[in-house]
Structure 1
Amino acid sequence: MSWPEGYGRLVLAQVDSTNAEAARRAPGLAGPEWILARAQSAARGRRGRAWAMPEGNFAATLVMRLDEPPEHRALRSFVAALALFDAVGALVGDDAGLALKWPNDVLLNGGKLAGILLESLGPHLAIGVGVNLIAAPGAGQVEPGALRPVSLLGETGVRVGPEAMLEALAGAYAAREAAFVTYGFGAIRTAWLARAMGIGAVATARTARDETTGTFETVDEAGHLVLKTAKGRVAIAAADVFF
């Protein structure tokens, strides 16, 4: 897949985190740019958690200027997840073991292969992507109850380098972004739900303040998780989800 027109590319040997680097570079960018780092010293996941990055794994951020309301920007999490699904399937030659987990994970054979972190940077949005290409963190490096981490190499035997992953992801993202801009969230939502883990299963959505348990029904038009509970349907904007 060729590099998408209009997207910049920057490859660095090491940074603290690609999202932090995106924040530093965003004001000077003329257009959307992918920033890839071969090593990170202070990688982060959701809610400020540390993100382990063994050598050979993938860490990159797409930074782009978006003059949109925050709730519309947040839907890029689904765009990015679909693009990751597309890219990994293309690199491996098979997407049968892949699935998407709300709000921002890509799964392989039931384990967590990749995560996505969105951060607003004033008028810019940073979409950070981490993929366990070569090695997965140990079970002790994830919170209790979380899905087991897996690597692409460990699950498929396919070895993919970070730059090959970036090439595939950038092309896949550009295609999904174009569909989002042209047709809106409806088409993205339908495609995401077709690849979603756990529809019809019991799930617990946990925030810092409370938790809600119910049957995972759908994702609504705002990107919220919809659970059917004993008290009725509940739409959840942000949470960690456990099946």
Structure 2
Amino acid sequence: MSVWPEGYARQVLSEVDSTMLEAARQAPGLAGPKWILAETQTAARGRRGRAWVNPVGNFSATLVMPVSDKPETRALRSFVAALALFDALVAVSGRVDALALKWPNDVLLAGGKVAGILLESLGDHLAIGIGVNLVAAPALDDLEAHAVPPVSVLSVLGVEVGQEVLLDHLAIAYARHELQFQTYGFAPVRADWLNRAARLGETVTARMADRSVTGRFETIDPEGRIVLSTDQGRQAIAAADIFF
């Protein structure tokens, strides 16, 4: 494996309330990017404030980095992080065929959700939180109808992956994709993401707070919006939960 990426700091905590909260606390004092990994979280959360179930042995880390981009450009780093996470999981499992990316920010393994990504702006910094079910998946009790069921790397592939091992691969992959993003913009990131997209060309439902839209998943546009072909024409949607 290559060496840890130059310019990226690293911290491993035995326990913390949330790596995202820790990133917010440390951000004002950081001049460069830093990965924060927690072996255990006591108050983890996912998108829209939802609780993130985090059994011991699963992966929880946040990359906090100074940024000067506009908000819409910052948001595109969810795709950068997804590509890096895809590459890291391939590296530790040796399996590329079972993995796919689900818009806007999930990674699927054998059709189940194995990882999620959460972005938060912290003034002049951006926090990218990543959770991966390495050893255990949450129970299905609170799963919404037609939602993707959670799975773990261990349950699907029978592969045991250490938290710091995954972090090493993830940090290296992220640095590579971030450099591409900074050098060439979103276009190559978009193309790479679409090559790994789940259900591209198939019918999906985008569920928003006030409405749902069902249509054929055509692409993601240059702003990162999912584009659906519906009976009412093409619709570009910036934020939604996607159901298959």
TM-score after normalising by structure 2: 0.98
Compare 53-62 and 141-150 and name the one that shifted more. 141-150
Structure 1 partner of 2:52: 51
Equivalent residue for 1:228?
Answer: 229
In structure 2, the partner of 1:40 is 41
Structure 1 residue 63, shift from structure 2 partner: 0.3
For 1:142 and 1:131, locate their aligned partners in 2 and report how far apart those are by CA, in whole Å: 17
Kept after mapping to 1: 8 A contact 2:107/2:114 = yes
1:98 offset after TM fit, Å? 0.3
> How far apart in 2 are the matches of 1:153 and 1:141?
22
Write the distance in 1 (CA, Å) between the matches of 2:32 and 2:61: 16
Q: Which amino acid aligns with 1:74?
A: A
- What is the alpha-carbon distance in structure 1 between the residues aligned to residue 57 and residue 147 of structure 2? 23
Cα offsets for 1:74-114 (capped at 9, x unmatched): 00000000000000001111211000000000000000000
Instruction: Tell me which residue corresponds to 2:181.
Output: 180
State the shift of 1:141 in Å: 3.9
Structure 2 residue runs without a partner (length 5+): none
Q: Give the 3-state SS of the residue equivalent to 2:154 in structure 1.
A: helix
**Partner residue in 2 for 1:156:** 157
Partner of 1:95: 96
| Counterpart code for 2:236 | A
Aligned-partner Cα distance in 2 for 1:190–1:235: 17
Instruction: Give distance in 2, aligned partners of 1:26 and 1:84.
Output: 23
Partner residue, 2:11 = 10
Q: What is the alpha-carbon distance in structure 1 between the residues aligned to residue 112 and residue 17 of structure 2?
A: 26
Shift of 1:144: 3.1
Q: Secondary structure at the match of 1:187?
A: helix
Match of 2:205 in 1: 204
**Residue 72 of structure 1 aligns to which amino acid in structure 2?**
T
* 2:81 corresponds to: 80
CA distance in 2, matches of 1:28, 1:51: 27
Query: In structure 2, what is the Cα distance between the partners aligned to 1:35 and 1:145?
Result: 33
Is the partner of 1:64 in helix, strand or coil?
Answer: strand
Aligned to 1:195: 196
What displacement does 1:29 show?
A: 0.9
Structure 1 gap segments, 5+ residues each: none
SS at match of 1:135: coil
Counterpart CA distance in 1 for 2:207 and 2:18 is 26
CA deviations 1:160-209 (Å, max 9, x no partner) are 01111100100000001011111110000000000000111111101111
For 1:210 and 1:65, the matched residues in 2 are separated by 35
The residue identity in structure 2 corresponding to 1:230 is D
The TM-score with structure 1 as length reference comes to 0.98
Q: Take 1:168 and 1:144, find their aligned partners in 2: how far apart are those partners?
A: 34
Deviation at 1:142, TM superposition (A): 3.1
| 2:23 matches 1:22 | yes
Amino acid at match of 2:28: P
Helix, strand or coil at the partner of 2:227: strand
Residues 31, 66 of structure 2: 8 Å contact kept: no
The CA distance in 2 between the partners of 1:79 and 1:216, in whole Å, is 20
Paired with 1:34 and 1:213, the residues of 2 have a C-alpha distance of 38
CA deviation map 1:102-153 (0-9, x unaligned): 0000000000000000001111100000000000111114333211100001
2-structure distance, mates of 1:115, 1:60: 11
For residues 22 and 42 of structure 2, what CA distance do their matches in structure 1 show?
12
TM-align CA RMSD: 0.8
Q: Distance in 2 between matches of 1:22 and 1:159?
A: 27
**Structure 2 partner of 1:111:** 112
